[in-house]
Structure 1
Amino acid sequence: MGTEDRIVVGISIGDINGIGSEIILKTFEDSRMLEFCTPVIFASVKLMSFFKKHFETDINFHGIDRIEDLIPKKINVLNVWKEHVNVSFGEENEKGGEYAIKSLKAAVAALKESKIDALVTAPINKSNIQTEGFNFPGHTDFLAQELQGDSLMLLISESLRVGLLTDHVAVKDVVKNITRERIDNKINTIHQSLIEDFAIEKPKIAVLGINPHTGDNGVIGDEDDTLLRPALDNIRKNGKMVFGPYAADSFFGSGNYKNFDAIIASYHDQGLIPFKTLAFGKGVNFTAGLNRIRTSPDHGTAFDLAGKNQANFDSFREAVFSAISIYRTRQEYKEISKNPMQISRKRSYSKKK
């Protein structure tokens, strides 16, 4: 829908009782953001006007009832609903989840129809979103159902990218969810994303072991030797620069992560604890591998800060910039792929984002 300099970024409001509204408003209170994109907030003018008054932000909205009526370089608010909604800052309740999902579903529908170019999602609460019509542990799983491709949670910052073999899976179920097929799929997904979305011509990928010390030759589990190593050996035979498995406990502290374009962790906390330690507040959650672009901040609803005008919006702003950057890089890759002999490759393969 957008052009190179006028990318339309859809924004889902997240849990209305969390900090989503505040970080959205603070991001776009800076009018310079409109030089990079045209935002469309999926909520209602009534609700956003309430938030504007509460947080005393100097911001103007353009209310629309159809996405086709958006005005470029304005902060558009699409009325997904018209009714008044009570906000209870800091409270986890059904209303917070209900309107978060209304916003998300409308935004994803627009994304699927290419009425927006990219989607940035404000945080939701994984508990209060659960209903008969929405039974997903988070954004990533819902998007995997709605969009095409093989999804992969990829945390990105200026100097670090961490993907996951398994994401929102209980620790007791991690090993049984790591299969040869999953290893192949996830590495292929992150490899292609690094090429298409980050302009890295020959990605170098590190893989962290499943067990402590990668099993110590079977003393602490044999999955690294019987499953992970053979899978990586086979992938290397196909020409991909994949290294490991590495012992996770020393990999980040030693600075070894700096030698790779991306790291794949075996499970959620193995990857997210070091990522958030190194990049919290500046990191972005990107759903790689899908045919549409979605990013989000690297934090949750922060109910303890909600409504207090104290939330840090840096990560949300970075999520907007990342969505724009990935969209442009992906469009450029598509053009190069269509006309490889006609287009001069101007891309810098040293890009970090």
Structure 2
Amino acid sequence: MHQLTYDDIKAATDRIAGHIRPVAVAPVAPVAPGTIRAAHRGPLDDRPEKPYEVWFALEFMQYTGSFKARCAQNFIQAHREAGTLPSAGVTIASGGNAGLACAWAARQQGVRATVFVPTVAPAVKVAKLRGFGADVRLVGAEYAEALEACEEFAASSGALAAHAYDHPLIAAGAGTLLEEIHAQIPGLDTVVVSVGGGGLFAGVAAAARHHGIRTVAVEPENCRALNAAIEAGRPVDVSVDSIAVDALGARRATALALHAARQDDVRSVLVPDGEIVRARRTLWDHHRVAVEHAAATALAALTAPDLPNGPTAPGYGYRPRDGERVAVVLCGANTDPSDLVHRAEN
């Protein structure tokens, strides 16, 4: 498989310029010493602690409500440039953000999109897909059945099969996000991203490595496809059970993601569901930002208190160093905010 390079990220950046919304970044008040214990401080270390800086990358404001718009634009435009975009258009199996992004990008490029979704997909997402002009086909009760139907359609119609995360062009499109973050936050040390199948992580990590920036890959502790792949030394199937399963519920991480995770400047961490819920609530209560649980997963790595296994237990949470400058990617907002708003009104 083609391994993702920084040249791929740069090509994607040039390709999608003017077709996506540049990410906005917002500084959060510096985190005071003791609020979240800084890493690497021994009990006898009497140096004065310094606050560390946190910035939010507001990618949930992207077209279609998630970073996937970058991926879909890069995928479709690259095939158009190469002359490999068929008259039958593109097809994808997804009832979520990838399907929405594919349908939107296809409309932007004037090509047909056929999206296969499980029959249990929320009606609001099906309506939005149709609003983007997609031919929506409801097949099966599970994603796997929709995927099988999508593959059969691609084979019989000649449509170009897109993927939610497992393709170099998809990952490269996601990596353009880090290029924009880096340009806006001088001296950035670390970027924190949530991980499902690994498309966003692989792209961001490839760009971050070029700029000497650390990448922290965050997964729910019961949706740990990447973490398990690192442990096993190869992609493996995992069970998925999390509040964020709708976006981070990949059963297997991609080879691209595992390759990126093996680099020295990457750390894989896990967070419990309860901390994901709390991080999402914190974003609403203190910033009036309503995001998906998948987006809140990234922030949960920083906001979780000391966990049962201890504050420095391998794989759990991320404790920034004194003075560290950290960007947290809030990657999507296709969520029902009623549980946030109704609670605030009561």
Instruction: With the length of structure 2 as denominator, give the TM-score of the two structures.
Output: 0.29
Instruction: With the length of structure 1 as denominator, give the TM-score of the two structures.
Output: 0.28
Greater RCO (CA < 8 Å, at least 6 residues apart) = 1
Which has the larger Rg? 1
